[in-house]
Structure 1
């Protein structure tokens, strides 16, 4: 889709003080995990292992983008919904942005789960694409984790865009889940309960350091209409994955009327595991360690009409 063809909506988000956010998250996460530590730190170099991101940090004019959406995937995929990372960076008023998050890709015409991890190209920056994708081989049903060198994604994307700088971030460490909510939902519901109708958005990366997690991977586009949640669940390929897993995540406390996906997380482990994160399956063993920043704006690109 050409830049001028993509409708853009924008809203400002509430940006609390980082120390305040830490206190709010500390309290909310303690209702769901036995061990919780939330504090403000200087972002480590995220290009290093285990994170292996394309930029050192997640600071510098952070904003979220919700591109396309599930309505373009069901009941049958609209394959003409093609988006360009460089274009998205320009549309969110940050040319050359570092972008991470979760979306849908296409490798050799096959639908796949995309883990965007890319420094986009502009007049002032050279691109660096370290994205990965999880795809199901249609010949044998085997999961493959591939380097994703394309500058395009398809159907949908939930993204954090920033300048890729190191700076103050929220460090979250939790372990031994005692409640029912997954890690991301627990943070989002905590923010929703505390801030009410003030939308607060977070983006960042976290590790599942130990334990196991339930993931799904989309196979190739369905040839029959997906008309219900049951149809979608039958189409998706679910699996249990071992830690360590690197997760790329965005969330917003509530939808301020833009038809948003309020949370979305994809994860990978080098070149042998990956997909869409649902929740951990080993509550007594699991541990999470992540870094997040509050976003200043939410951009809604190409909102589905229904």
Structure 2
């Protein structure tokens, strides 16, 4: 494993985070409910995760970067089990967003992480999904990662929330009808930034877009021949879609970057109706509904921060 840096995060009480979230969300949604609840059993549908909850030695892990694309580090492959050991949490459960291993799949793919790393005595349980562009008609294909590959690898970047997967208290967020400009995740992240300033707070969790539609992108199966430096470079490479609820989203966000070259928010989603990918925002503000469960992280790990280079457009 390459260089790893870590920091302690500011960890407010769940009740305090509820109030902070509520203050930001009420500026952006017509109906807002935020409370501390027992986490639903995440092994059940529609989640079908390998663990019941989001608690226990929680960490945020930022691995690699979209900058790897322009630094010609397209062969950068990471392994979730190695990451678990690097953050001192063998057997950790990971959720989040990143790029699937091209070496494993033979193509680019959006990775929707839901995987429990292996231990000395137990194998990994990988229930991650991948979203790819169908080569025949340009539509979205959603597949279980285990149906395509037996490894636990991923490619040049990921943003992950890790924990022991224990049940317990979490923050439930339920909002309807967007009235502002920020997307669901950005609204919560910015509320933390406004309240805590340079005290970095990290959050991970899962949410469902229950009603409405969303703007989603997929990476094409092949990389472009031109460098991706500005956002418009990325936009002419990526494939954009409007996709339908219900969409199950895995999200990681951090309120402040303490000098580690972090990606502050990243969300990928999957569905049982062959739609998913990288979430931007909803496109039906008058009808959209979100329901999410979140928990703060105690520690922040930065793995394989890439060399300084041009900032890459929105990736993966």
- TM-score normalised per structure 1: 0.95
Give 2:176's aligned residue: 175
For 1:35, what is the secondary structure of its paired residue?
strand
Give 2:131's aligned residue: 134
Give 1:247's aligned residue: 249
The counterpart of 2:76, out of the listed 74, 81, 94, is 81
Alignment of structure 1 residues 27-106 onto 2, 5 Å = 27-74=23-70, 78-105=73-100, 106=102
Contact 1:110 1:221 in 2 (8 A): no
The counterpart of 1:114, out of the listed 111, 125, 142, is 111
Alignment of structure 1 residues 147-226 onto 2, 5 Å = 147-149=144-146, 150-219=151-220, 220-226=222-228
The structure where strand makes up a greater share of residues is: 1
Task: State how far apart, in whole Å, the 2-side matches of 1:226 and 1:44 are.
Answer: 40
Using the TM superposition, give the Cα deviation of residue 53 of structure 1 relative to its aligned residue in structure 2, in angstroms: 1.5
Contact 1:214 1:278 in 2 (8 A): yes
Using the TM superposition, give the Cα deviation of residue 44 of structure 1 relative to its aligned residue in structure 2, in angstroms: 1.0
Using the TM superposition, give the Cα deviation of residue 51 of structure 1 relative to its aligned residue in structure 2, in angstroms: 1.6
Give 1:286's aligned residue: 288
Using the TM superposition, give the Cα deviation of residue 137 of structure 1 relative to its aligned residue in structure 2, in angstroms: 3.3
Using the TM superposition, give the Cα deviation of residue 271 of structure 1 relative to its aligned residue in structure 2, in angstroms: 5.2
**Structure 2 unaligned spans of 5+:** 309-316
CA RMSD of aligned residues (A): 1.3
Task: State how far apart, in whole Å, the 1-side matches of 2:58 and 2:307 are.
Answer: 27
Give 2:313's aligned residue: none
For 1:278, what is the secondary structure of its paired residue?
strand
Using the TM superposition, give the Cα deviation of residue 177 of structure 1 relative to its aligned residue in structure 2, in angstroms: 0.6
Task: State how far apart, in whole Å, the 2-side matches of 1:31 and 1:222 are.
Answer: 39
Task: State how far apart, in whole Å, the 2-side matches of 1:140 and 1:78 are.
Answer: 30
Task: State how far apart, in whole Å, the 1-side matches of 2:138 and 2:26 are.
Answer: 40
CA distances 1:188-210 after superposition (whole Å, capped 9, x unpaired): 00000001110001000000000
Equivalences, count: 301
CA distances 1:108-146 after superposition (whole Å, capped 9, x unpaired): 310110001101101143311111000113454332111
Does the alignment pair 1:11 with 2:4? no
For 1:73, what is the secondary structure of its paired residue?
helix
Contact 1:96 1:124 in 2 (8 A): no
Task: State how far apart, in whole Å, the 2-side matches of 1:85 and 1:108 are.
Answer: 16
My pick for the range that moved more, 132-141 or 252-261, is: 132-141
Task: State how far apart, in whole Å, the 2-side matches of 1:184 and 1:178 are.
Answer: 15
Using the TM superposition, give the Cα deviation of residue 65 of structure 1 relative to its aligned residue in structure 2, in angstroms: 0.3
